[in-house]
Structure 1
Amino acid sequence: MMVTTPISSAATGPAAREVLPPLLSRLYPAVMGILNVTPDSFSDGGQFFSPEQALAQARKLIADGADIIDIGAESTRPYGSRPVSADDELKRLKPVLADVIALGVPVSVDSMKSEVVAWALDQGAAIANDVWGLQRDDGMAALVAAHRVPVIIMHNRERADPAIDIMQDIATFFSRSLEIAARAGIASDRIVLDPGIGFGKVPEQSMIALARLAELGSFGLPVLVGASRKRFISSVVPSEPQNRIGGSVAAHLIAAQNGARIIRAHDVSETVQALRVAAAIKGLQ
Structure 2
Amino acid sequence: MPSVAAATASPPVIHPTAMVAAGARIADGCHIGPFCMVGPDAVLEAGVDLVSHVIIEGHSHLAAGVKVMPFATIGLVPQDLKYKGEPTRVTIGARTVIREHATVHRGSVSGAGVTVVGADCMLMVGAHIAHDCVLGDRVLLANNVLLAGHVEIGDMVFVGGGAAVHQFVRIGQQSVIGGLSGVEADVIPYGAVMGNRARMIGLNQIGLKRRGMTHAQRHALRSAFRMMFLGNGSVEERRAAAEAQYPDNPAVAEILAFIRAPSKRGIVKVGRQVSFEDDDAPDA
Measured against the shorter chain, the TM-score band is: under 0.3
Larger C-alpha radius of gyration, 1 or 2? 2
TM-score normalised according to structure 1 size = 0.24
From the two aligned structures, give the one with the greater strand fraction: 2
TM-score normalised according to structure 2 size = 0.24
| Structure with greater contact order relative to length (CA < 8 Å, sep ≥ 6) | 1
